[in-house]
Amino acid sequence: MRTHRNADKSGYRWYNDYRLPDSLGGGIVTVRLHANAADTARKFNRTENVRPIAPADQGFAGLFRRRNDAESINRALEDTLWLGRAHSLGHRRQLLNLLGYAIMVNSLALARHSKAAPLAA
């Protein structure tokens, strides 16, 4: 039904609201999208098992097929961070940093691809 965030002392926490069908009692149920100590204690990886965008949603297929690429790019960028610290401060500067990183990765891929031997027909 909707995704929303609530502020707390450490930032924001994300939640999804779902409308239950009348056969299940009706009403709206709110589901937390972040893990907490109870999840850790029962070894439940909430971020892996609770999907903020349902598979039946019209945007799911397009977003889901990009997930592995996005996670791979984020991991590679994180590996460049000295002591896990961002290269820049503020979301605009971090976005510029991410775009610069993406341009560098694409440039390297293009250079390596252009040097590769052509495939035999």
* pLDDT value, residue 121: 63
Tell me how far the alpha carbon of residue 30 is from its chain's centroid: 20
Question: Which sequence spans correspond to the domains of the chain?
Answer: 1-52
With residue 64 as reference, give the H or E element that holds it: helix 60-79
Each residue's pLDDT tens digit, 75-99: 888 888 888 777 788 889 888 988 9
> Within the chain, which residues score under 70 in pLDDT?
117, 119-121
C-alpha 50/C-alpha 111 separation (Å) is: 40
How much is the pTM?
Answer: 0.49
